[in-house]
Chains A and B, each alone.
Chain A
């Protein structure tokens, strides 16, 4: 009785993404192989699903309303522990039913747990109902998508020779730092047959890390050094040009 008809082997080209001075986004390569047991029939339909989940963050979502012709921020809702980055990719279009059953996908997060209505800073007298919750929730997904931080696709996994798969995942330059999880699922006949997870880290390095942590740990001296740099360049710039003009 072979319980595993198809095995999943995966690899990735890196365990860390470094944010240095030249960082302008990166492509994360996820690749692997799924090979069939020859004794099994190849009729069954197999799919690969790749999920990348970024570190959790709290975000404030604000809605603009028109006041006397001006579009101003009015209602604000805080979402707790939303992924700073989310990517879902599969070899074929997945049904909502499948995603719900397997608790995959952002929409399956428990909305009410994630939304912190207590932090609604400005209440203009309207009633908060389920419809409004839905509106805010959809807006969260949409704004993250517009910033290229959330994505759900079904055409980015390349299958080579029927057994190898490869996918390049766009990591934009605005990604948050922290620990990311890559979840791989092998799906056979709409059932998750195998799962595999691994982590990678997005981290600042070199001068970027030095400046960032200095600004957080020693803000006064950071401000002072910023000032000294401004004074030196301002002063020497004027001096150099003054001499230059005299010649």
Chain B
């Protein structure tokens, strides 16, 4: 059974979409990730045009990050003030990102740039996950407990415009969070990701936020970045496919909840290592597409006229 996607202008198998959303949702629920970094390349692999894949992923992440934020908010683990400051930067970043995106579409380089960005992102994520999980597994075998430093003092504490963030117990300048938000905004708009993978380490290491508040706060602000990115794409690139988004959201929300349940029952590190390998596999496929001489060196795109 297939469904015709009105914006992508092609028909795809409904079960393929549902299982794609379900699997990505499952992984995101299990590991507490947004899943955009897998959703966008997988959509491109099944033949969805790059611009539609990016714009629609952003729409889907809105749903998954709302689900995630609710849980953290109930436990009081969201620093709304920090989220708000990050959003100031993200607002301008995503406007710039969508502008860059539509320029790249116009000169025909969007596919290449997206491929390179995704290759870099996925390789980084995959390798760090693999290293981290293998370390934990090794430590477990040696019965060692991992100690982590909770608070960092660095250059972020010496800049002007300092503000007190009570929830995170921080007194730092607003400049670093605004810059971080700005960069995440650009990446979110051009890649169709929430950016938690970059945001979370940045919040811990650059801002020195307590680890417990980081996930909820990043999810909270991802809702708003991806919401903004969705609106910007809908109005400038016209690439948000509501039908595609609907099926992905439906299946990913269910998948995410199952993933959360599974995460409580299964041992994390082995699965984390497995996910790392999946991520590296996707990265390898993207790299091969860039490096191996294609069968057809010409590609055609219709210059659509907007009526």
- Interface of A toward B, CB cutoff 8 Å: 19-25, 57-66, 69-73, 76, 78, 84, 121-122, 136, 139-140, 142-144, 146-147, 173-174, 176, 204, 207-208, 211-212, 215-216, 219-220, 222-227, 229-231, 233-235, 237-239, 241, 245
Contacts and interface: CB of A to CB of B under 8 A. Distances in A.
Nearest to A176: B302
29 contacts: A21-B3, A25-B11, A58-B305, A59-B300, A62-B298, A64-B297, A64-B298, A70-B290, A73-B109, A121-B107, A136-B298, A142-B296, A173-B4, A173-B11, A208-B4, A208-B6, A211-B6, A212-B6, A215-B7, A222-B234, A226-B242, A230-B230, A233-B246, A233-B249, A234-B67, A234-B249, A237-B253, A238-B67, A238-B253
B112 A237 contact: no
Interface in B255-272: 256-257, 260-261
Interface of B: 2-4, 6-7, 9-11, 59-60, 62-68, 70-71, 107-109, 111-112, 227, 230-235, 238, 240, 242-243, 245-246, 249-250, 253-254, 256-257, 260-261, 290-294, 296-303, 305-307
B6 A237 contact: no
B290 A223 contact: no
A241 B238 CA distance: 33
Contacts of A239: 70
A146 B187 CA distance: 33
A63 B297 contact: yes
A64 B294 contact: yes
Contacts of A20: 4
A143 B59 contact: no
A230 B297 contact: no
A227 B108 contact: no
Nearest to B287: A70
Contacts of B6: 204, 207-208, 211-212, 215
B294 A69 contact: no
B299 A21 contact: no
Contacts, number: 183
A235 B60 contact: no
B112 A143 contact: no
B68 to A, nearest CB: 8
B72 to A, nearest CB: 11
A235 B70 contact: yes
A4 to B, nearest CB: 42
Contacts of B242: 211, 215, 222, 225-226, 229
B235 A229 contact: no
A121 B109 CA distance: 11
Contacts of B60: 230
Contacts of A241: 257, 260
A192 B10 CA distance: 37
A220 B234 contact: yes
B4 A227 contact: no
Contact of A174 (B7, B10, B292): B10
List 9 A-B pairs, minimum CB-CB distance, nearest first: A223-B234, A234-B63, A237-B253, A234-B66, A139-B298, A230-B63, A238-B67, A241-B257, A223-B231
Given A60-B300, A139-B298, A223-B235, A174 B112 contact: no
B296 A76 contact: no
Nearest to B254: A237
B2 A22 contact: yes
A227 B226 CA distance: 9
